[in-house]
Amino acid sequence: MKRSLWIMVLVTVFLAIFITGCPKKTPPPPPPPIEVPPPVPIEEPIIEIPEPELELRTVFFDLDKYNVRPDQQARLIDNAEQMRQFADANVILEGHCDERGTSEYNMALGAKRANAIKNFLSEYGIAAVRLQTKSYGEERPVCTQSTEGCWDKNRRVEFIVIE
C-alpha cells in the first residue's frame, strides 16, 4: 500500500517536474553578426615613370644674319633628333631680333630666321607640317640692356612645343 502511494507521489513529482520542467534555458541569442568592414583596397603604389620630354634649345644668330651659325649646328641637330623621336610633337619656331635695327625691318628679319631653322629641320627629315614659323621682330626681348651680351641673347629662334 504504502509503496504504491510512494510510486504515485514519485510519478506525480516526476510528471510535475517533467511538465513544468527546469526553467528552460533559452538558448543564448545568436551573437550579433560581426560587422565585417569591407576589405581595404590595397593601394597600388603609384610609380611615376617620368615621360621622356622634349627639350628643344634656343638657337642664336649673328647680327643682321639669318644663316645657321656653325657653332649652333650641334644643338639644332640635337633638336631635330628629338623631334624625330617625338613624332607627335609639333613646334612653333619663333624668330626674334635684338633692339638695333628698326622694328619694321626686324619683323621681316625675324621671319627669315624662323624660316632658316624650318628649312634646316626639313632637310633633316622633319615634316614641314609640324613646323610653324612666326616672327616677333624686336618686340619680345628676353633682356633689355643695351649691351652686346644682351643683344646676343635676343637674336634667336625659340622652339615652342604645341600638342
The binding site for other proteins (CB under 8 A) comprises 64, 66, 101-105, 107-109, 111-112, 114-116, 118-119, 133-137, 139
Cβ contact 61:101 at 8 Å: no
Q: Which is nearer to other proteins, 58 or 115 (CB)?
A: 115
CB of 107 to other proteins, least distance (A): 5
Give 86 or 107: the residue with its C-beta nearer to other proteins: 107
For residue 83, with 0-12 CB atoms within 10 Å meaning exposed, 13-18 middle and 19 or more buried, which class applies? buried
* Least distance between other proteins and beta carbon 114 (Å): 7
Residue 32 is classified by DSSP as P
CA dihedral 35, 40, 41, 45 (to 10 degrees): 180
- 83/111 with CB nearer other proteins: 111
